[in-house]
Amino acid sequence: MERSLRLLLLLIGTFSAIHTVQAQSKSQEGFISLDCGLPANELSPYKEEFTNLQFSSDATFIQSGKTSRIQANRESDFLKPYRTLRYFPDGTRNCYNLKVEKGRNHLIRARFVYGNYDGRDISPKFDMYIGPNPWVTIDLERLVNGTLKEIFHIPTSNSLQICLVKNGTTTPMISALEIRPMGKDSYITKSGSLALFNRVYLSNSSSYLRYPDDVYDRQWFKYFKTEWTQISTTSDVGNSNGYDPPKVALTTAATPTNASAPLTIEWSSANPEDEYYLYGHFAEIQNFQTNDTREFNILMNRILLFGPLIPEKSKINTIYSTSSVTCDEGRCSFQLIKTNRSTLPPFLNAFEVYRVIQFPQSETDESEVTAVKNIEATYGLSRINWQGDPCVPRQYMWDGLDCSNTDISTLPRITTLNLSLNGLTGTIAAAIQNLTKLEKLDLSNNNLTGEVPEFLGNMKSLLVINISGNNLNGSIPQSLQRKGLELHYQGNPSLSPLGTSTKRHGKSVLIPIVAAVGSAVILIVVLVLFLVFRKKKPSTVKVVHPPLSRPTMNATYANSPEPSIEMKKRRFTYSEVVKMTNNFERVVGEGGFGVVCHGTTVNGSEQVAVKLLSQSSAQGYKEFKAEVDLLLRVHHTNLVSLVGYCDERDHLALIYEFVPNGDLRQHLSGKGGRPVINWGFRLRIAVEAALGLEYLHIGCTPPIVHRDVKTTNILLDEHYKAKLADFGLSRSFPVGGESHVSTVVAGTPGYLDPEYYQTSRLGEKSDVYSFGIVLLEMITNQPVIDRNRRNSHITQWVGNELNGGDITKIMDPKLNGDYDSRSAWRALELAMSCANPSSAKRPTMSHVVIELKECIVSENSRGNMSRGMDSLSSPEVSMVFDSVMIPRAR
């Protein structure tokens, strides 16, 4: 009870500053009112006749979609802005791009009226996003008169993107989109945005209110109960306090007819874990007798929020929560109860309730978004998926881009720009230099002209530049001849090769002489080396295995100043392996393949793990070569990186980066002296492992399936960052006309996808199943298969325990109950969804990443709240109410 009281303690206050201009002005400054689907050549803008709001066509705010109207016999049922619509049959994500004020709270309202515009009578269902974060699912199946969704949101940039995302077979559509800038200090939350749950004023006679009665164009609906009595006034009531509810809403109020009874407002919450912010508006509008007093306490779910309150005459007092509140088992009760010394019952003029929505995913760095849009404009690109945030969510990343976005709290940055074969004309766009974290630039096979700009050489993060197959001229800037830069420039007939200049000077006659002499020296050296190595090579040696294939994604041209990636990943001799492991002195692991030994590179600069393939290993050369090939062409912070390999006759070894903290299984069990990791760490490890898998599935070309995801293959580095390991069973996804059927089913019992086992059909959802089992292990710390259990497999055991509805019986007892129950339930539901026997019903790894990140947000909010409650619950804290009344916490 004490903890609940602390969690529900609210700071109460009203703004004493009077925003005269905002409260009294009837202007629509900053308003955006879009009649979606209204043709731009029709009368636009126009004034809507009931509100005098000025609506415009949405045509200049979005680059895709088609327009239509609801059926003619339905048009009279709706105001003009809701008779037309824009629908989106093409693309998965279609976005409006709106200019707003960064850091200011905005009311965002979207309206949807299907009106059988397409004659199919199939109501659509789709998702709405704000930037890279999901906002709400729109389902119009039973809403014949449409619906509206409203939220208070603070943009993190001056560009606001509202996106409609297809989540099934139906077509997204929208009727109207309205944006209203709010007061500078209103509707502030500790985290997240506020979705409208209810906004009412207590009246039994008036109709609903909006602009111009409400200067912010909030919509207020009348609400009244039979057990209440209406009170009202014709006098002016002051409403200026930052929230500025309509004056009309403050001239009426409700009191309980039974003066001794509380005034109660109740509602149900579909999700018991939902969090709410409450706003009550009070203005005394009754004239008192000499001995009359009015004071009352304010309770939420029978817990005192504030009191006693003594409202001021004809002046607004707004009581609001600065911390979110939850409801008891989904039943919410807001009550006003008079004190013993009060002669009058409590009253309420107006009431607002908002539900918290967390938007954890950071948007792509604003300067880079501007840069890539300038590049798009420079080349006149028109791609259906170049809408919304360029980098996130990852499943909607723009074609031709790759980004660094492994941490939701960090701004994603663009690391790859691939515009090859796009018919680009003109010069190399100057905006490219504003992509300051760019590592790979591919402008090959276009029609670019002009010189190679100097700024490319000043982009220190660039590792690969491909400008081959264009019509560039001049010479390669000296700055592009730096070490560490891989440059491809073939196929530009007028472009001078590296090391030459198009400018003549007094000593130009020496150039052909030096070149000829240099060529001769190189030829002699190559010939001598060839003869020496040929002499040393025994004539009886045969090639036992085929050479390791060079990854096409990193192939270089013959005159590239940098070696290929295969050459960078060093091929070690067996004697070097013996030396680096000190004759295999320290064994750190063992498996079916053989042993893993600790080692140090020859120069002592790097610790490594050396995986030796034994003669008796079931993992043969095919698996060895597969792992080498795969690790040569992939790189991700959550994948164990390959330092090198040894392929010398019967000696096969893989040399990895050393990951010192062992595997996840050890940390769950506490074996080997490993500490048992807490719930927060487990969620973070789960996210990082999921990001590694997501990269394999959608970040690699062709995509890759791991096939052996399990807790022993998730390693933890010195900072407990998770890294996926053991790619011996990994395979590229079948593409084109290739078969999806795997000739040999491979994996670990318990983690193996039952659908893959039965059909031999391999896909990314097989990894999703295995990950679901890993997640269940992290949640329960139970063995995957335990023959001593009545339900031997972990999915069966969890499913049976779920019937009891008690998550404490499922969670790892070693956690000692130290976890956020919301994040635990969400993770558990996600794990069971991943482990669904039907692959079609499993989520993608991208969806898994999103869900797990939201679990982390929930868990972190628990920690932040518990740390902050001590100070908030102190009796010394003053609750600012207004300049006159400063009540104390009780």
Question: Which of 75-79, 93-97, 506-510, 563-567 is predicted least confidently?
Answer: 563-567
Same domain, 557 and 640: yes
Reply yes or no on whether the pLDDT at 635 is more than 70: yes
Question: Which of 2-11, 182-191, 470-479, 502-511 is predicted least confidently?
Answer: 2-11
Which tens digits make up the pLDDT trace of 530-553?
554 444 443 333 222 323 332 333
Same domain, 564 and 682: no
Question: Which of 87-91, 158-162, 326-330, 422-426 is predicted least confidently?
Answer: 326-330
Going through 717-793 in order, the beta strands assigned E by DSSP cover 722-724, 731-732
Helices (H), 705-763: 754-759
Say if residues 244 and 273 touch (Cβ distance below 8 Å): no
d(CA 82, CA 132): 27
What CATH number does the domain containing 795 carry?
1.10.510.10
Q: Which pLDDT belongs to residue 87?
A: 97
Strand 32-35 versus strand 54-57 pairing type: parallel
| Residue 422 included in any domain | yes
| Residue 216 included in any domain | no
What CATH number does the domain containing 283 carry?
2.60.120.260
Same domain, 161 and 231: no
Reply yes or no on whether the pLDDT at 302 is more than 90: no
Check the CA dihedral 744-747-748-752 and report its sign: negative
d(CA 717, CA 639): 11
d(CA 312, CA 226): 27
Would you call 708 a catalytic residue per the annotation? yes
Q: Which pLDDT belongs to residue 536?
A: 41
Q: Which residues of 213-251 are buried (b: 16+ CB within 10 A; e: fewer)?
A: bbbbbbebebbbeeebeebebeeebebbbbbbbbbbbbb
Annotated binding site: 611
| Residue 890 included in any domain | no
Same domain, 474 and 408: yes
Question: Which of 189-193, 627-631, 832-836 is predicted least confidently?
Answer: 627-631
Long-range contacts of 397-401 (CB under 8 A, 24+ apart): 398/372, 401/372
Confidence category of residue 422, pLDDT binned at 50, 70, 90:
confident
Out of 324, 339, 357, pick the residue that ends a domain. Answer: 357
Reply yes or no on whether the pLDDT at 14 is more than 90: no
What CATH number does the domain containing 645 carry?
3.30.200.20
Number of domains making up the chain: 5
Which tens digits make up the pLDDT trace of 680-699?
999 999 999 999 999 888 87
Q: Which pLDDT belongs to residue 733?
A: 56
Reply yes or no on whether the pLDDT at 620 is more than 80: no
Count other Cβ atoms within 10 Å, centred on residue 584.
15
Same domain, 672 and 640: no
Check the CA dihedral 19-25-26-32 and report its sign: negative
- Output DSSP code: residue 287: P
Strand 263-268 versus strand 331-338 pairing type: antiparallel
d(CA 136, CA 139): 10
Instruction: Please provide the average confidence, as pLDDT, over all residues in the chain.
Output: 82
| Residue 884 included in any domain | no
What DSSP letter does each residue of 411-457 carry, written as one string?
--EEEEEE-TTS--EESPPGGGGG-TT--EEE--SSEE-SBPPTHHH
Say if residues 8 and 319 touch (Cβ distance below 8 Å): no
The residues with which 134 forms a beta bridge, in sequence order, are 129
Annotated binding site for ATP: 611
List the one residue out of 549, 703, 724 whose CA is nearest residue 628: 549
Which tens digits make up the pLDDT trace of 758-792?
887 888 899 999 999 999 999 999 999 988 888 88
Which tens digits make up the pLDDT trace of 262-285?
999 999 888 888 999 999 999 999
Confidence category of residue 571, pLDDT binned at 50, 70, 90:
confident
pTM score, two decimals?
Answer: 0.57
Reply yes or no on whether the pLDDT at 509 is more than 50: no
Which tens digits make up the pLDDT trace of 728-765?
667 765 444 333 444 456 778 899 998 888 887 888 89
Confidence category of residue 151, pLDDT binned at 50, 70, 90:
very high
Reply yes or no on whether the pLDDT at 673 is more than 90: no
Tokens representing 744 are: 């040999």
Higher pLDDT, 863 or 746: 746
Same domain, 649 and 682: no
Q: Which pLDDT belongs to residue 746?
A: 73
Amino acid, res. 633: R
Q: Which pLDDT belongs to residue 617?
A: 56
Q: Which pLDDT belongs to residue 189?
A: 92
What CATH number does the domain containing 421 carry?
3.80.10.10
| Residue 154 included in any domain | yes
Average pLDDT (475-481) is 90
Number of H-type helices and E-type strands within the chain? 16, 43
Residue 231's φ and ψ, nearest 5 degrees, are -125, 150
List the one residue out of 411, 406, 407, 389 whose CA is nearest residue 398: 389
Same domain, 339 and 237: yes
Reply yes or no on whether the pLDDT at 295 is more than 50: yes
| Residue 536 included in any domain | no
Q: Considering the candidates 365, 663, 708, 820, report the single residue annotated as catalytic.
A: 708
Q: Which pLDDT belongs to residue 172?
A: 97
Q: Which pLDDT belongs to residue 748?
A: 86
| Residue 307 included in any domain | yes
Which tens digits make up the pLDDT trace of 869-879?
333 232 222 22
Same domain, 405 and 479: yes
List the one residue out of 66, 121, 56 whose CA is nearest residue 89: 66
d(CA 28, CA 107): 13
Which tens digits make up the pLDDT trace of 122-145?
999 999 999 999 999 999 988 888
Reply yes or no on whether the pLDDT at 525 is more than 70: no
Angle between helices 679-694 and 764-780 (to 10 degrees): 170
| Residue 530 included in any domain | no
Same domain, 38 and 110: yes
Q: Which pLDDT belongs to residue 788?
A: 85
d(CA 356, CA 827): 20
Output the CA–CA distances (angstroms, integers) from residue 646 to 479, 541, 579, 639, 676, in the order listed.
36, 17, 13, 20, 36
Which tens digits make up the pLDDT trace of 28-54?
999 999 999 999 877 789 999 989 999
Q: Which pLDDT belongs to residue 539?
A: 33
List the one residue out of 195, 59, 176 whose CA is nearest residue 137: 195
Reply yes or no on whether the pLDDT at 23 is more than 60: no
Same domain, 348 and 451: no
Out of 357, 384, 401, pick the residue that ends a domain. Answer: 357
d(CA 317, CA 806): 43
Same domain, 830 and 697: yes
Out of 298, 325, 357, pick the residue that ends a domain. Answer: 357
The percentage of residues in the chain with a pLDDT greater than 90, rounded to a whole number, is 53
Give the domain range for residue 432.
366-496
Same domain, 644 and 716: no
